[in-house]
Amino acid sequence: MKNFLMQFFTWWHGQTLGTRFFTWRKGEKVGEDASGNAYYQHGEHRWVIYNGEAEPSRIPGGWHGWMHHRTDTAPSQEDYAIREWELPHLQNMTGTGAAYRPKGSLANQEKRPDAVGDYEAWTP
């Protein structure tokens, strides 16, 4: 019952019942990425069913271009290869102990480097 209610009222745990029904009736599966996210289309509409939590930053670069209509050819329909400079997905660490905290911030007490002379404070 809990899963039913979560699908009915929330979208961040995966697809809602409305999305599941629409995908079942009208969705044409275009492909799947390495993370298990499934990509669908119906006419001009394109959407993704996430494998797990709905985290848009988990969409790889090739699929991102297809989702945003930058290309009409999906990566599953061509010989798409990940570029050597593309990094694997890292989850958003904001709010965790692994979050980026620059020197001088309230969370990192290290002293930030002094201004090097090309900075002049503005005074009205």
- Residue 81 CA to residue 86 CA, distance in Å, equals 10
Q: Is pTM, for the whole model, over 0.85?
A: no
Identify whether 87 is part of a domain.
Answer: yes
**Would 35 be classed as within a structural domain?**
yes
Split at pLDDT 50, 70, 90, the class of 15 is: confident
* pLDDT value of position 116: 65
d(CA 48, CA 15): 9
User: Does residue 57 form part of some domain?
Assistant: yes
| Chain segment 16-56, per-residue pLDDT in tens | 777 888 888 999 999 999 889 999 999 999 999 988 888 88
Number of domains in the chain: 1
Residue 28 has a pLDDT of 92
For residue 69, being part of any structural domain is answered with yes
Q: Domain range spanning residue 56?
A: 27-93
From residue 13, alpha-carbon distances to 4, 39, 89, 91 in Å are 11, 17, 19, 16
Query: 120 lies in a domain?
Result: no
Contact criterion met (CB below 8 Å) for 33 and 25: no
